[in-house]
Amino acid sequence: MTNPWEEISLDDYEKHMSLDSVQQLQVLDSIMKEQFSAYPVETAAVLGIAGGNGLEHIDTDKFRTVYGVDINADYLRAVSQRYTQLSGVLKCLHIDLINEAEKLPQAQLLIANLLIEYIGYGAFQRAILQTAPEYVSCVIQINTDEEQWVSESPYLRAFDRLDEVHHQMEEKALTAAMKEIGYSLILQKSEPLPNGKALVRLDFKKEG
């Protein structure tokens, strides 16, 4: 059985995410600008890179290597074509994070935006232990509507199968899961969205 994310076209995903009623692409772009500049690191891994939204904020004077990881090979091809200016810095990796975490390279900063809800806390813990970052910066979606966690849009049918892999996110549960593997919360920030949802950024630092 394929992962639903392997079947969602990048065009449908990006058009949905950038609708005025959703605005997640725009908000995530500004969050990623902060994520890339927040910490003194030279290497980063972006898990669930999709079409590469936010990668234009990578400072090639600062970063030696940035890994872009996704389960969808078409997304990775699009990223490589869109961000030729990052050639030599950006390395795209086709990895199924639920089943192939051991393939992940190590990096000082791990960024995971709207990803944990599709792999679960356990798989996310395994990915972090493999990557062994100093800092983890992630964004989760907090929903006011339990029934309808994908925002209403003309592209809704594209996301029909996501129920198979979706996990409801909760800040306290994520913080507890991170604590279990030795990471402490150092930043929590909420960005409201137009449709009653919110994107919550949680940053963690490796203890010791």
* Average pLDDT of the segment spanning 11-25: 77
pLDDT value, residue 149: 46
CA angle, 54 then 112 then 196, to 5°: 80
Reported as a single tens digit per residue, the pLDDT across 134-171 is 999 999 988 765 555 455 555 566 677 777 667 678 89
* Average pLDDT of the segment spanning 79-105: 96
Contact between 99 and 33 under an 8 Å Cβ cutoff? The reply is no
102 pLDDT above the threshold of 90:
yes
Tell me how far apart the alpha carbons of residues 122 and 98 are, in angstroms, rounded to a whole number: 9
Tell how strand 65-70 and strand 90-94 pair up: parallel
Domains in the chain, CATH or no CATH each: 4-206 (3.40.50.150)
Reported as a single tens digit per residue, the pLDDT across 26-84 is 889 999 999 999 999 999 999 999 999 999 999 999 999 999 999 999 999 999 999 99
What's the alpha-carbon Rg for the chain, to the nearest Å?
Answer: 16
Nearest CA-CA partner of 75 in 104, 95, 57: 95
Nearest CA-CA partner of 95 in 105, 85, 86, 87: 105
As a whole-number percent, the residues of the chain with pLDDT over 90 amount to: 68
- Tokens 């900063």, residue? 109
